[in-house]
Amino acid sequence: MFFDSMLGWFSLDMGIDLGTCNTLVCVRGQGIVLNEPSVVAVKKGTNIVLHNGNAVGLVAKEMLGKTPGNITAVRPLKDGVISDFEITEAMLTYFIRRVHGRRRFVRPRVVIAIPSGITAVEKQAVFHSALQAEARRVYLVSEPMASAIGAGLPIREPTASMIVDIGGGTTEVAIISLGDMAVSESIRTAGDNFDEAIVNHMKKTYNLMIGEQFSERIKIELGSASAVGPETTMEVRGRDMISGLPRKCIITSEEIREALLEPIGKIIDAVTHTLERAEPELAADLVETGITMAGGGSLLRGIDKVISQATGLPVRLAEDPLTCVARGTNVLLENLEELKEALESDVDEM
């Protein structure tokens, strides 16, 4: 272990947030160096990765809609589980190699944050891919733990901290105390489902088909979970489902809030359910410490307010919610010795 720490000074140790929507990589001592969509371009109907595995991230996302019909973009972790091992491996390998390059003589240690719903077999696949990509040591940490660390919560103290991380594909809820997750829940309802709810609303109410990227824009510009600030409107363009022709209409922030009720209700249920399962002592701590929210989905206007109303607890948003997990992996890298009980490693010597 001492030798390993010494090598650390020469290698480009990395922390990776392997998110369902976005992958972020940070390097010890440098902070975040890469932030790209978790997307891989493949030949349609196959798991053949295009361009020798170099069509990953932004490049892959930009290929969408600009290429002939034989290419699709895949999000291999869309639901918080690995849908395809080969594609996930190609993605992870690409990101690690791009950051590491051929600059260093010593291979890196890598801390990877993964959705907590991932199975043992899927974990092995992540270990395997990182080792394939020339990592010297690989440590896995669950996303809510990394998120709590990145949000600056006192996870090692004997008081309870609660984190709600709303990503694209999954929402991770955890109550942490003494460096361990006391209770946790991972559900497959998150930001993507907000987009979906908006697509469905447009179909049902206006017979208008809109694309996923556009519905995400509506969510970000107009969406809310509770009435905060002035109500606004937005012009939406899409394709009429009956005539097949392009058409536009005007929508309001109130109707979008209504459309988002269902997925937001599921997230609230996961939060209250987790609280119900906590030991009374931990629950008592939370009256003081409250809930911290992270992940891109927590940026939806007023979502902190509805969660506070549903639980009666104070709710705050972490600083820079989209980078919490990545920053958490960076803290882990810098304190591997003290924090390694929060990690799983590729070898058992720990």
Task: Give whichever of 135 and 198 is closer to ligand ADP, judged by the CB atom.
Answer: 198
Lookup: tokens for 274: 């987790």
Contact letters (x/-) for Mg ion, 116-155, by CB under 5 A?
----------------------------------------
Q: Is 8 in the site for Mg ion (CB under 5 A)?
A: no
8 A C-beta contact, residue 166 and residue 267: yes
- CB pairs under 8 A, 24+ apart, for 240-245? 240/207, 240/208, 240/209, 241/203, 241/207, 241/208, 241/209, 242/207
User: CB neighbours of 38 closer than 8 A, spacing ≥ 6?
Assistant: 18, 19, 20, 21, 22, 23, 57, 75, 76, 77, 91
Among 76, 117, 167, 238, binds Mg ion (CB under 5 A): 167
Least distance (Å) from Mg ion to the CB of residue 50?
26
Q: Is 191 in the site for ligand ADP (CB under 6 A)?
A: yes
Among 89, 192, 285, 346, binds ligand ADP (CB under 6 A): 192
What DSSP character marks residue 110? E
CA 192 to the chain's CA centroid: 11
Rounded to a whole number, what is the distance in angstroms from the first to the last CA of the chain?
9
Residue entry with tokens 């993605």: 91
Task: Give whichever of 15 and 19 is closer to ligand ADP, judged by the CB atom.
Answer: 19
Task: Give whichever of 251 and 278 is closer to ligand ADP, judged by the CB atom.
Answer: 251
Contact letters (x/-) for Mg ion, 187-206, by CB under 5 A?
--------------------
- Whole-number Å distance between alpha carbons of 81 and 303: 25
Q: Which does 21 bind (CB under 5 to 8 A by kind): ligand ADP, Mg ion, none?
A: ligand ADP
Least distance (Å) from ligand ADP to the CB of residue 163?
12
Residue 293, classed as helix, strand or coil, is: strand
Angle between helices 191-206 and 261-277 (to 10 degrees): 150
Q: Which does 299 bind (CB under 5 to 8 A by kind): ligand ADP, Mg ion, none?
A: ligand ADP
Among 19, 108, 169, 328, binds Mg ion (CB under 5 A): 19
Task: Give whichever of 318 and 333 is closer to Mg ion, judged by the CB atom.
Answer: 318
Task: Give whichever of 22 and 129 is closer to ligand ADP, judged by the CB atom.
Answer: 22
Least distance (Å) from Mg ion to the CB of residue 311?
22
User: CB neighbours of 4 closer than 8 A, spacing ≥ 6?
Assistant: 109, 136, 137
What DSSP character marks residue 322? G
Q: Is 297 in the site for ligand ADP (CB under 6 A)?
A: yes
Residues in the interface with ligand ADP (CB under 6 A) total: 18
Query: Interface with ligand ADP by CB under 6 A: which residues?
Result: 19-22, 167-169, 191-192, 216, 219-220, 295-297, 299-300, 322
